[in-house]
């Protein structure tokens, strides 16, 4: 029956306030209190009709006792309806129930012989319920009413039934107990209210803290994964799905072993040896390289862990950005402090070369000029770094651009065009800055020309469009492959595999590609040789 009661708005009930709606818990309490009253009335009817004389119930007036119990049951049944409807308001219903108890239990006590029947003790239950349910000082008011009712009932018995006056002491003690129980119930109710308010405050604080933690986790660039001791996923952020390439549709049934077995293995190893909590691994689905950190969640023992997945690509990009900023700050000083003295050295050397010298001096002058040109080339490459942010994109069709560029390159380098083979699967239109594209192709094609066997078809330029709509250009040469230990350093500034190289060509090419929304990477082909791939930004075919 109680499950069908309507829900009411939860408000903290102020002491003695009739205007605030009562919370659901208070209506539930008054419902069970009324259920006790119904059981009490039914018990009275059963006992008086079965064991009336043996139990001295209704000994003074059995008919009055029986009819009073029946009326008491009827009013209790009506109260169930008013409680279900929550009308009238809570305090009025509680006052009606307790007032009814005082009146009817007093009449039942009179019908059973007065104060010596002991039925007045039943009012202690009603007064206690009033103090705990009502949560106010109104319980003392009902204690006063109960005391007056007991005294009036005994006085009426003394006047009409010749009851003994000595029972006044018993009535007084019972009245004192009424006040004591009502006051204790009031104190207990105040303590319950304070505890309830404190729990609500703590619950609000915990909810705010949980929401703050959720927002922090969701906004973190690193992946955050919370798992229990069995490796079951409890919480995660969007970065985890991006790094792992897995969608956690139902975290209640998702485990690390099901979605990322390699991470589950690391978690199992870490549980055995918690010192091994910082490892770098490559994820199988997305091929992301991440640094994994495990932090245990201690709460009376091991209760799970927080797994942090730090994207190494983002870390490397930040490191490269720091290097770029540092190089950019040095660019102006390099141009001023190096180029001006270098120009003076070159000019003075040219003047000295105009005079007649022996072959040894002529060789020394040529060494000076060659190294001055080399330093000037380094300065020009460093100055190119400032151009990565000044992009003026134009559309180029690789099927038209590559043959013209290779023809110009072969004419400049004095190489045969038979060395280069161009294959464009379909019209691949790209959007790129003109100067940047020339610089990137110059670096890649010149490197391929330097290391290839110089035979026909030694350098192959292949272009096609991927299923995602991106144009891809691969530049392959049949020269020696790059050593595996040197692959991750290819695009580092000032790293070179050639004795005469400066180590800025590939680094500058990648920076210019990224400035135009493209990526440059090294790919080891299945056969001997070396291959560089450019994946251009999205561009509609035209």
pLDDT in tens, 387-442: 555 677 888 888 888 998 888 888 878 888 899 999 988 778 898 988 788 888 98
| Beta bridge partner(s), residue 533 | 474, 521
Give the mean model confidence (pLDDT) for residues 482-497.
78
Q: Residue 143 pLDDT more than 50?
A: yes
Cα 245 to Cα 238, 259, 467: the distances in Å are 10, 9, 19
Round to whole Å and give the CA distance between 188 and 181. Answer: 10
Q: Residue 375 pLDDT more than 80?
A: no
The pLDDT value given to residue 233: 85
Report the first-to-last Cα separation within the chain, whole angstroms. 73
What is the band of 360 on the pLDDT scale with cuts at 50, 70, 90?
confident
For residue 175, which of 96, 242, 102, 226 has the smallest C-alpha distance?
102
Length of the chain: 542
Mean pLDDT is highest, among 1-10, 199-208, 380-389, 498-507, for 199-208
Helix axes 398-413 and 434-451, enclosed angle (nearest 10): 60
| Beta bridge partner(s), residue 10 | none
Per-domain boundaries in the chain:
2-200, 221-314, 316-387, 393-538
Round to whole Å and give the CA distance between 92 and 400. Answer: 92
Task: Tell me if 221-314 shares its fold with 393-538.
Answer: no
Q: Which residues contact 435 (CB under 8 A, 6 or more apart)?
A: 387
Local structure of 120: helix, strand or coil: helix
| Beta bridge partner(s), residue 476 | 460, 531
Q: Residue 354 pLDDT more than 70?
A: yes
The pLDDT value given to residue 8: 36
Q: Residue 327 pLDDT more than 70?
A: no
Give the mean model confidence (pLDDT) for residues 352-359.
77
Tokens at 69, concatenated: 């119990």
For residue 432, which of 424, 441, 420 has the smallest C-alpha distance?
441
| % of the chain beyond a pLDDT of 90 | 13
Q: Residue 245 pLDDT more than 70?
A: yes
Cα 13 to Cα 22, 24, 148, 360: the distances in Å are 6, 11, 29, 106
The pLDDT value given to residue 3: 45
Q: Count other Cβ atoms within 10 Å, centred on residue 447.
A: 22
Q: Residue 138 pLDDT more than 90?
A: no
Round to whole Å and give the CA distance between 536 and 520. Answer: 9
Round to whole Å and give the CA distance between 466 and 305. Answer: 41
The pLDDT value given to residue 477: 92
Tokens at 227, concatenated: 């798992």
For residue 307, which of 271, 282, 273, 335 has the smallest C-alpha distance?
271
Round to whole Å and give the CA distance between 58 and 61. Answer: 5
The pLDDT value given to residue 300: 64
Burial class of 456 by CB neighbour count within 10 A (0 to 12, 13 to 18, 19+): exposed
Helix axes 359-384 and 340-353, enclosed angle (nearest 10): 150
Q: Which residue has 């995602």 as its token pair?
A: 468
Q: Residue 209 pLDDT more than 50?
A: yes
From start to end of 223-274, where are the E strands?
A: 223-227, 233-236
Give the mean model confidence (pLDDT) for residues 208-225.
82
Q: Residue 7 pLDDT more than 60?
A: no
Round to whole Å and give the CA distance between 470 and 238. Answer: 25
What is the band of 36 on the pLDDT scale with cuts at 50, 70, 90?
very high
Q: Count other Cβ atoms within 10 Å, centred on residue 404.
A: 9
Out of 3.50.50.60, 3.10.180.10, 3.30.450.20, 3.40.50.170, the CATH code matching 221-314 is 3.30.450.20
Q: Which residue has the higher pLDDT, 333 or 418?
A: 418
Pairing of strands 289-298, 302-311: antiparallel
The sign of the CA dihedral 414, 416, 419, 420 is: positive
Tokens at 61, concatenated: 């007036």
459 phi/psi in degrees, rounded to 5: -115, 125
Fold classification of 393-538 is: Heat Shock Protein 90 (3.30.565)
Q: Which residues contact 79 (CB under 8 A, 6 or more apart)?
A: 34, 37, 93, 96, 97
The pLDDT value given to residue 12: 34
The pLDDT value given to residue 533: 92
Round to whole Å and give the CA distance between 166 and 115. Answer: 11
For residue 146, which of 112, 113, 109, 111 has the smallest C-alpha distance?
109
What value does the mean pLDDT of the chain take? 81
What is the band of 378 on the pLDDT scale with cuts at 50, 70, 90?
low
From start to end of 193-284, where are the E strands?
A: 223-227, 233-236, 278-282
C-alpha atoms less than 13 angstroms from C-alpha of 210 in its C-beta half-sphere: 7
Local structure of 220: helix, strand or coil: coil
Whether the CB-CB separation of 518 and 432 falls below 8 Å is answered with yes
Round to whole Å and give the CA distance between 413 and 445. Answer: 11
């Amino acid at each position: 029956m109680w499950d069908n009661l309507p829900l009411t708005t939860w408000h903290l009930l102020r002491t003695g306030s009739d205007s605030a709606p009562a919370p659901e818990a208070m209506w539930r309490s008054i419902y069970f209190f009324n259920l006790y009253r119904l059981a009490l009335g039914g018990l009275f009817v059963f006992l008086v009709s079965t064991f009336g004389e043996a139990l001295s119930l209704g000994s003074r007036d059995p008919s009055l006792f029986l009819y009073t119990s029946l009326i008491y049951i009827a009013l209790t049944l009506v109260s169930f309806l008013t409680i279900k409807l929550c009308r009238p308001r809570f305090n009025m219903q509680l006052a009606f129930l307790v007032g009814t108890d005082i009146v009817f239990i007093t009449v039942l006590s009179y019908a059973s012989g007065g104060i010596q029947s002991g039925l007045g003790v039943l009012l202690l239950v009603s007064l206690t319920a009033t103090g705990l349910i009502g949560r106010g000082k109104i319980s003392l008011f009902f204690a006063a009413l109960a005391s007056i009712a007991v005294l009036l009932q005994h006085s009426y018995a003394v006047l009409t039934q010749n009851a003994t006056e000595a029972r006044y002491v018993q009535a007084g003690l019972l009245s004192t107990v009424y006040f004591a129980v009502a006051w204790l119930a009031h104190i207990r109710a105040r303590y319950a209210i304070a505890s309830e308010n404190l729990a609500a405050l703590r619950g609000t604080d915990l909810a705010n803290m949980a929401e703050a933690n959720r927002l922090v986790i969701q906004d973190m660039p690193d992946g955050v994964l919370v798992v229990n001791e069995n490796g079951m996923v409890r919480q995660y952020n969007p970065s985890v799905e991006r790094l792992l390439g897995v969608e956690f549709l139902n975290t209640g049934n998702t485990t690390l072993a099901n979605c990322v077995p390699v991470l589950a293995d690391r978690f199992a190893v870490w549980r055995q040896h918690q010192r091994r909590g910082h490892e770098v691994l490559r994820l199988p689905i997305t091929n992301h390289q991440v640094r994994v950190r495990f932090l245990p969640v201690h709460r009376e023992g091991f209760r799970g862990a927080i797994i942090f997945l730090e994207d190494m690509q983002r870390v490397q990009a930040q490191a490269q950005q720091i290097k770029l900023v540092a190089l950019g700050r040095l660019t102006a000083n390099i141009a001023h402090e190096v180029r001006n003295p270098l120009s003076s050295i070159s000019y003075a050397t040219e003047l000295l070369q105009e005079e007649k010298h022996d072959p040894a001096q002529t060789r020394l002058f040529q060494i000076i000029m060659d190294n001055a040109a080399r330093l000037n080339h380094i300065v020009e490459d460093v100055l190119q770094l400032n151009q990565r942010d000044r992009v003026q994109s134009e559309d180029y069709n690789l099927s038209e651009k590559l043959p013209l560029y290779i023809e110009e390159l072969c004419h400049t380098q004095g190489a045969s065009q038979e060395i280069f083979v161009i294959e464009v699967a379909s019209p691949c239109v790209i959007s790129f800055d003109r100067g940047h594209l020339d610089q990137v192709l110059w670096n890649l094609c010149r490197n391929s020309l330097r290391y290839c066997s110089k035979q026909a078809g030694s350098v192959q330029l292949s272009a096609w469009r991927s299923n995602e709509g991106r144009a891809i250009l691969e530049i392959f040469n049949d020269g020696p492959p790059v050593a595996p230990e040197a692959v991750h350093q290819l695009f580092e500034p000032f790293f070179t595999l050639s004795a005469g190289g400066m180590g800025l060509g590939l680094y500058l090419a990648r920076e210019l590609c990224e400035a135009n929304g493209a990526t440059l990477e090294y790919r080891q082909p299945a056969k001997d040789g070396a291959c560089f791939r450019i994946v251009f930004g999205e561009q509609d075919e035209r």
